[in-house]
Amino acid sequence: MNMILNPAPSAPPTSMPNGTTRPQVRIVIVGHVDHGKSTLVGRLLHETGSLPEGKLEMLQAVSARRGMAFEWSFLLDALQTERDQGITIDTTQIRFRTNSRDIVLIDAPGHAEFLRNMITGASQADGAVLIIDALEGVRDQTRRHGYLLHLLGVKQVAVVVNKMDRVDFSAERFKAISDEFSAHLQVLGVTPTAVIPISARDGDGVAARTDRIGWYAGPTVVEALDRLEPARPLEALALRLPVQAIYKFDDRRIVAGRIESGSLSAGDEIVIMPAGKIARIKTVESWPETPIAGRQGAGRSVGITLDRELFVERGDTIAHTATGPRETRRLRARIFWLHDKELAKGDQILLRCGPKESRATVVAIEKAVDPGELASVENKAIGLNHVGEIDISLSNPIATDPYTENPRTGRLVIEVAGRIAGGGLVLSVDAGQRAVPVDIVPVESALRPDERSARYRHNGAVVWLTGLPAAGKSTLAKALERRLFTNGGSPILLDGDTLRAGLNGDLGFSAADRSENIRRLAEVATHLARNGHIAIVAAVSPAREDRAAARRIADTLFREIHIATPAEVCEGRDPKGHYKKARAGALASFTGIGNDYQRPEAAELTIDTSSRTVADATDEIERMLQQSGVLFDEVADLAANI
Ligand code: GTP
Ligand code: MG
């Protein structure tokens, strides 16, 4: 069957990154030595009509002349030789087509190399074919590969039971292997997309269900590949532009880098991480000078200019303000260790995430596992070729994403003495957490969050009220506090002015002090929110950057409410008389910002207190908290209990 000759009736109409309308899927073929990987690949190339004209016949003739039995793996060897001699144009990656997919087979030369490539992001598979010899059955390496696919986050795995001709195409033998290995994958949380009986050598089950496997009703290998889902295109993910260099042309500063994911264009509002500075893209430059129009997507190398002078340096990451990465000094990662000397708790390492690097300390080692044995070996150290989950504390903040959100930026590499010693995936990012020395272990609450929320009928949250002085923040904050408390909740008011009298008493009104003031408010509020309380913060917090920093600290717990009372109304109220005047004066003289409140652009709620009652405004906040999952919905609860 020649798959190319069948036009794809179900091909999606949208254009794909590979320039066609066919989704591209990258796969890797793994399995125990000699179980038939190369044979299957040779077969697949043949069955899908992907071989150069005459190649197969030529190899068969050569084999016959030398008195050797023809092997399908010769095809790969031949392509490999041509590649080594630089003859073929592009065989670094073997490509073939099924009905509706362009398949790219990722070269997996050897075990260690494959892992190294996968974990350092040099290659990345959307799916995998795992091959098992029907006679030999599941072997160590089969299990190990299954486990590694799970570790690497490859969810789509087609299992192929090969060499069925050696077991007389026995349905029982097939079922036994299929059951054994499916159970193994199940434990790892992987459900095979298909388990297929084949003879790669003879062609059964590869592109056709032959009589010899007449008892089998599932998909062929080609059909299974045709059903693989491509990864979300990188362009559809959030913008990540790691800064590689800054060039000066005339008076322009051009920030250059390669777009790892997402897209950008002139006019976009961006944030530069980890500093958190905000700017707009003025122009997008193509090399070396002319500005280019339109959106530029993942994979493009671009230079951009910004609408204001900001300090940007190599290693920073540029993102859109609404979907920025999380700056962190703490992260959890799943790593594969490639170094002779084992990795132990307390070890000093160098951590690289994209272009950014930081010295780091291993705070804890959990689940160290030998992927061959699949047994937890210990949790003090990770040995050579073992896998583990570790907690890392960084000496400099790094902007990164969990691997599940962005497979491109959610990877890390660990170096020891200038050499790659391991690599892995970012599992979670503890936004805003400071680095802690190894001997300080944060003490957790005796109560679980769900115990508290069951009593309070709400989850923890940071409700951040920002707005001009005298806009009505404190009034509303107090009304909300009373309302939540009356309903049995646990609200706590953190008024900016109150905290300035104590915790923040050492801070003035310089830009740095204002940022620190907001940071402390956000840290305290987040701690309370993590413990199930609703922290209501009432603070002018005029700088958008500072509020963005607070949001990063509180992360998903953050709800911003803009008290958008017109300036004239605020002036008229002036409830704090001389105090406010003095403070406004101080703000203006130190920073010029007293007159320059930066309005939020994406607050969860905006309220103008000049046109409504306090009760009314409180209602509205309550509704927002309910809709955004903070307050439990009493009506829905009632309904569920009837
Ligand atoms: P490594 O690359 O060394 O790990 O091996 P591999 O998994 O690529 O195996 P390869 O394709 O080289 O096949 C190993 C041997 O198994 C060869 O002699 C093949 O001819 C034989 N073989 C592969 N598929 C089949 C099959 O379906 N039936 C039989 N009887 N032999 C097969
Ligand atoms: Mg091989």
The alpha helices in 66-170, defined as continuous H runs, are 73-84, 111-120, 140-151
Distances (CA, A) of 263 to 238, 259, 266, 354, 601: 8, 7, 11, 18, 21
Q: Could you tell me the distance, in angstroms and rounded to a whole number, from the CA of residue 113 to the centre of ligand 2?
A: 14
Q: Which residue is listed with tokens 């459900």?
A: 191
Q: Specify the residue with its C-alpha closest to ligand 1, atom 30.
A: 163
Whether residue 628 lies in the annotated active site: no
CA of 276 to the centre of ligand 1 (A): 55
Confidence band of 109 (pLDDT split at 50, 70, 90): low
pLDDT bucket at 107, cuts 50 / 70 / 90: low
**Closest ligand by atom to 37 CA:** 1
Count of alpha carbons within 13 Å of 482, Cβ hemisphere only? Answer: 10
For atom 5 of ligand 1, which residue has the closest CA? 34
What digits encode the pLDDT tens for the residues 464-490? 999 988 888 999 999 999 999 999 999
Better-scored residue on pLDDT, 41 or 567 = 41
User: Taking the CB of residue 220, how many other CB atoms lie within 10 A of it?
Assistant: 24
Q: What ligand has the least distance to the C-alpha of 42? A: 1
Handedness of CA 350, 353, 354, 355 (dihedral sign): negative
Q: How confident is the model at residue 594 (pLDDT cuts 50, 70, 90)?
A: very low
Query: Other C-beta atoms within 10 Å of 417: how many?
Result: 8
What phi and psi, each to the nearest 5 degrees, are found at residue 308?
-150, 165
Catalytic pick from 50, 541, 610, 628? 541
Show the tokens assigned to 380: 């003090």
| Most confident range, picked from 11-20, 102-111, 482-491 | 482-491
298, two tokens: 């993942």
Residue 12 vs residue 445, higher pLDDT: 445
Look over the chain and give the mean of its residue pLDDT values, rounded to a whole number: 82
Q: Of 88-92, 183-187, 443-447, 600-604, which has the strongest mean pLDDT?
A: 600-604
C-alpha span between 77 and 182 (Å, rounded) = 32
DSSP at 213: G
Closest CA to ligand 1's atom 10: 36
Residue nearest to atom 15 of ligand 1 (CA): 34
Atom of ligand 1 lying closest to residue 202 CA: 27
Mean pLDDT of 530-546: 92
Residue nearest to atom 20 of ligand 1 (CA): 71
pLDDT at 118 over 70: no
* 584 membership: H or E segment, kind and range: helix 577-591
**Region 446-453 average pLDDT:** 80
Return the bridge partners of 559, or none: 463
Give 245-302 as a DSSP string. EEEEETTEEEEEEE--BSEE-TT-EEEEETTTEEEEEEEEE-SSS-B--S-EETT-EE
Which atom from ligand 1 is nearest to the alpha carbon of 162? 27
At 4, the pLDDT band (50, 70, 90 cuts) reads very low
pLDDT at 636: 54
Find the helix or strand (DSSP H, E) in which 44 lies: helix 37-47
Q: Which atom, in ligand 1's list, is nearest to the CA of 42?
A: 11
The pLDDT of residue 381 is above 90 = no
The rounded Å distance from CA 387 to ligand 2 centre is: 25
Q: To test ligand 1's pocket by mutation, which of 201, 202, 206, 213 has the most ligand atoms within 8 angstroms of CB? A: 201
Question: What mean pLDDT do residues 240-253 have?
Answer: 87
Top mean pLDDT of 214-223, 276-285, 342-351 is at 214-223
The whole-number pLDDT of residue 638 equals 52
The number of angstroms, rounded, from the C-alpha of 19 to the middle of its chain's C-alpha atoms is 25
Burial letters for 369-395: b for 16+ Cβ neighbours within 10 Å, e otherwise?
bbbeeeeebebebbbebbbbbbbbbbe
Q: 504 — phi, psi (to 5°)?
A: -100, 20
Distance 160 CA to ligand 1 centre (A): 13
What contacts 617, CB < 8 A, 6 or more positions away?
A: 472, 476, 479, 607, 609
Q: Given this model, what pLDDT does residue 155 score? A: 82
Q: Check residue 593 and give its pLDDT.
A: 42
Radius of gyration of the chain (CA): 30
Q: Which of 39, 59, 199 to mutate to test the pocket of ligand 1 (most atoms within 8 A of CB)?
A: 39
Cis peptide before 13 (omega within 30 of 0): no
Phi first, then psi, for residue 603 (nearest 5°) are: -65, 150
pLDDT of 81 above 70:
no
- In tens, the pLDDT along 280-320 reads 999 998 765 567 778 899 888 899 999 988 888 888 899 99
Q: Which residues line ligand 1 (CB under 6 A)?
A: 31, 33-39, 71, 73, 162-163, 165-166, 199-201
- 459: which residues sit within 8 A by CB, 6+ positions away? 449, 453, 532, 629, 630
Among 29, 33, 34, 132, which residue has the most ligand 1 atoms within 8 Å of its CB, making it the best to mutate?
34
What pLDDT score does 266 carry?
Answer: 93
Name the residue with higher pLDDT: 631 or 51. Answer: 631
Predicted confidence band of residue 80 (pLDDT cuts 50, 70, 90)? low
Higher pLDDT, 600 or 8: 600
Q: What is the pLDDT of residues 178-204, one digit of tens each?
A: 999 998 888 777 889 999 999 999 999
